[in-house]
A and B are shown apart, each in its own frame.
Chain A
């Protein structure tokens, strides 16, 4: 079983601060996705990273895939209340049956 551990589990910070969320596994993934989920809704894809060491930026969000493709991070600059939500990483393995394995989640709250 491939496990993706996210840290921290909960994070509450003031508007304007920076933060980093981590996603770690002992398994290698062919690629990794980050999703954001708001209450009462399904997860929405933010980004897919496919190459070890890859860095992608989406406005104030910066995503990095580890060199060994076992870990990833999400950094948010100058957090805003609209960033509040459950952030989920998801690893994609194509060793045999291709499937998406979700992480344990980080619940982020931005205080105005």
Chain B
């Protein structure tokens, strides 16, 4: 069974540029999460989807970040414009059931903003 797929794996951009990350969760997993992980620290939740509905986006900086999960499968996280402090690993995770339970993480996208 394929795991959570993320692309790109690495992205280097200059500040003020836009960037987008894509995630394909495990087939059949209704819940999808986006996390941001700074170097050497634990992941921090940005947004959680139940199917196509964002049920927790309280930690998403809405002035520059946006996310969508059309048709309740793939998801895209966008930053526009990017700032130096956005450099981090962006992780996507999915779980079978609503609520937390066991989350399966993708390999992440490492973003460097110059």
Using CB atoms, name the residue of chain A closest to B6: A42
Within 8 A of B (CB), among A26-61: 40-45, 48
Determine chain B's interface SS by DSSP, over half rule. loop
In the assembled complex, the CB of B54 is this many whole angstroms from the nearest CB of chain A, namely 12
Within 8 A of B (CB), among A55-112: 86, 88, 90, 92, 94, 97-100, 102-105, 107
Q: Given A40-B107, A97-B56, A100-B103, are A105 and B48 also a contact pair (CB < 8 Å)?
A: no
In the assembled complex, the CB of B35 is this many whole angstroms from the nearest CB of chain A, namely 8
In contact, A105 and B41 (Cβ under 8 angstroms): yes
- The CA of A97 and the CA of B107, in the complex, are separated in Å by 26
In contact, B42 and A88 (Cβ under 8 angstroms): yes
- 30 A-B pairs with CB atoms under 8 Å apart are A40-B107, A40-B108, A42-B91, A42-B93, A42-B105, A42-B106, A42-B108, A43-B43, A43-B91, A43-B105, A44-B105, A48-B102, A88-B43, A90-B42, A94-B100, A97-B55, A97-B56, A98-B100, A99-B45, A99-B48, A99-B56, A99-B100, A100-B45, A100-B100, A100-B103, A102-B44, A103-B42, A104-B42, A105-B40, A107-B40
